[in-house]
Amino acid sequence: MNHHVNGHPGLINRPPREINSKVAITRSQDYSDSDRSIKEALDLLGLTKICEKGDKVLIKPNLCLPTPPEDAETTHPEIVASMVRLAKEQGATVQVGDSCAWHLSMELVFETSQVREAALAAGADEVLDFAECDFVEVRVPDPRVMKTVAIPRPVAEADVIINLPKMKNNFVTLTTLAIKNMFGLLRLHDRHRYHRTPMDMAWACNDIFKAIKDQHRLTVIDGIWGVEGATHAGPVCKPGVVLASEDPIAVEAIANMVMGYHALESPHVQVGMKDDLGTGDPAEIDVLGASVEEVLHPFQRSLVSYVSRYTNVTEYYGGTCAACLWPTVALPPVVDPDKKYAVISGARVFLADDLEGVDEAYLVGTCACTPNHQHKGFMDKVRVAKKVIKLPTCPAMTHLLEERMGGVYDQARDAGYRDLIAVDGVALTHLPDTVRPELLPDVIERKEGRKKSWP
C-alpha cells in the first residue's frame, strides 16, 4: 500500500524531511504480555530509556468513560501498568492521570476501568483526576486558536509525558488517537467549545500538543482491542497491535492506515503535519516491526450524518455542527406517535414551507434561535407551529450535562422535557449495525414513553 502524499499538489507543500520518523508496530492477541509488546516496540525504536532517574513522569491514558476494559473505550489497565513499571524501573516518580467526559464520576471511571488499581499495583506514586487538580496557564508556541492553554499543574510540571491513547473511531474526527487524547488535559468547559467541527477539534488538540511538545517523550497506542463503528457505542474489535513513536503525528497516521483509513484522513494529522508537530507522510516514516499490510484491520466506519428514526419527526439542518447534532437527533424527549414534530438547528436553515400542522417545533442552539443567522422570513414560517420551544444555547459552548451552565439539555429539562439526555443522542445517532445492539432498546423504550426517565 503506497500512501505517499508529500508533494501532492494542493496538499502540504513543504520540502521532504531529511530524517524519517519511526513508528514501531508489535503484535499481541491479548493483554497477558503487555510488558513484552511495549518493550519490543521501544527496542525497535532504539529507545533504551524513556526517562532519567528522578524524572517526574506523567502517564496520560484515555479514561473518558466509566466502562470496563473489555468495552475497549479506555486504555487497558495492563498497558498502563506496563508503562508504569518501565518508568519506575528507570527511577522516575510516576503519576497517572486523566479526566472524563460529560461530568461523569471520575471515581467511577477509575473503578470501572480498573486503571487506578493496576497503576498503583505496578508502583505508580499517584493516580490523578485532573478535574481535581490546580490548573496553570501555559504558553502555546505558534498558536492557531489559543495563545495559552490551562492544563493541570502536574502535567505542566512533569519532566516527561507518556501518551497512551486507545485505538477508536470518532464520529467528529473519524479516529481518536494520539493528538485527540490530549483533549483530556483541558477543563471540561474549555473542551466543549472546540467540539463543533472536525477542524475546530484538530486545531485545538494540536495547540494543546504544542504546549507540551518538549515534555512529550513517547506515544503508545493501545490497539490490542479497539472500538469500531459508532462513537462510544460501537462493537469491540481486536486488531491485536501496539504502535509506538516519539512522533505523535507519524504514529497517528500509521494507526489510521492500520484501521483501513487514509493516513491523512483524520484532520489532526493534516493540521499537525502543517504546523510541524511531526510528519503524516508515510514516505517519511520508517515502520519497524510488523508492516501495515501484515496488521491491517479495517474498522467499520462511524457514520457522520443521521436523521431521526421517527417519521413524524422532521429535521431541518442548516450546516449544523457536530455539537448540535446530538441534541437535535435526541429531540423530542418523548415521541408521541399522534403528534408531528419539527427539530431545527444550524444557521441559514432552508424551510420549503411554513410549519403548519406541526405540534411542536424545537429550535436547537444559538444559530437556530437567532433570526439574523437565518434566511429572511424564517421565523414567520416557524411561528405557524402550534408550539415553538427555543433552546438558545450553543451546545458547543456549554457543558452537556452540567446544571449550572444552562446548556441545551438543562434548558430542555427546565422547560419540562425532563427525559432529554445526551445518552439518547449517542444511541439514536447510530444505526443498529454499527452499534452494540444491546444499547438501543432501552433508549427506544424511553423515547417512546414506555419506560420512565433516566435515573
DSSP of 93-145: EEEEEE--STT--HHHHHHHH-HHHHHHHTT-SEEEEGGGS-EEEEE-SS-SS
Q: Own/partner pairs for 288-291, CB < 8 Å, 24+ apart?
A: 288/22, 288/23, 288/24, 288/25, 288/44, 288/45, 289/24, 289/25, 289/26, 289/40, 289/41, 289/44, 290/25, 290/26, 290/27, 290/241, 291/25
Instruction: Name the phi and psi angles at 175, rounded to 5.
Output: -130, 160
Work out the end-to-end distance of the chain between its first and last CA atoms, rounded to an integer number of angstroms.
49
Is residue 346 a contact point for ligand SF4 (CB under 6 A)? yes
Q: CB nearer to ligand SF4: give 84 or 323.
A: 323
| Residue 248 binding ligand SF4, by CB under 6 A | no
Q: Which is nearer to ligand SF4, 206 or 320 (CB)?
A: 320
Residue in the structure block whose three cell numbers are 436553515: 349
Closest to ligand SF4 by CB, 234 vs 407, is 407
Per CB under 6 A, 407 contacts ligand SF4: no
Q: What are phi and psi of 423, to 5 degrees?
A: -65, -30
Q: What CA–CA distance (Å, rounded) separates 62 from 119?
A: 14
DSSP 54: T
Residue 51 touches ligand SF4, criterion: CB under 6 A: no
Q: What is the CA radius of gyration of the chain?
A: 23
| Coil/strand/helix, residue 244 | strand
Tell which positions 180-209 bind ligand SF4, by CB under 6 A.
196
Q: Does 398 bind ligand SF4 (CB under 6 A)?
A: no
Cβ 397 to ligand SF4, closest distance in Å? 7
Q: Taking the alpha carbons of 398, 400, 405, 407 in that order, is the dihedral positive or negative?
A: positive
Instruction: Give residue number: closest CB to ligand SF4.
Output: 365
CB of 258: closest distance to ligand SF4 in angstroms? 32
- Which residue bears the cell 446548556? 407
- Given the rule CB under 6 A, which of 240-248, 258-266, 364-372, 426-434 is the region that contacts ligand SF4? 364-372
- Separation CA 42–CA 23 (nearest Å): 10
When asked if residue 266 is in the footprint of ligand SF4 (CB under 6 A), the reply is no
Q: At what angle do helices 248-258 and 267-274 cross, to 10 degrees?
A: 150
- Give the nearest distance from C-beta 192 to ligand SF4 in angstroms: 10
Of 161 and 396, CB closest to ligand SF4 = 396
DSSP 4-43: --TT-TTS---PPPSS-EEEEEEE-SSGGGHHHHHHHHHH
Nearer to ligand SF4, 75 or 366 (CB): 366
What is the x/- site pattern for ligand SF4, positions 74-113, by CB under 6 A? ----------------------------------------
Contact residue for ligand SF4 among 86, 227, 367, 435 (CB under 6 A): 367
- Of the two residues 26 and 320, which places its CB atom closer to ligand SF4 in the complex? 320
CB of 402 to ligand SF4, least distance (A): 16
CA distance 214 to 300: 35
Residues in binding contact with ligand SF4, number by CB under 6 A: 13
382 binds ligand SF4 (CB under 6 A): no
Query: Cβ of residue 407: shortest distance to ligand SF4, in angstroms?
Result: 11
Of these, 61, 280, 282, 395, which contacts ligand SF4 (CB under 6 A)?
A: 395
Provide the mask over 298-327, with x wherever binding to ligand SF4 is found by CB under 6 A and - wherever it is not.
----------------------xx-xx---
The contact set with ligand SF4 (CB under 6 A) reads 196, 320-321, 323-324, 345-346, 365-367, 394-396
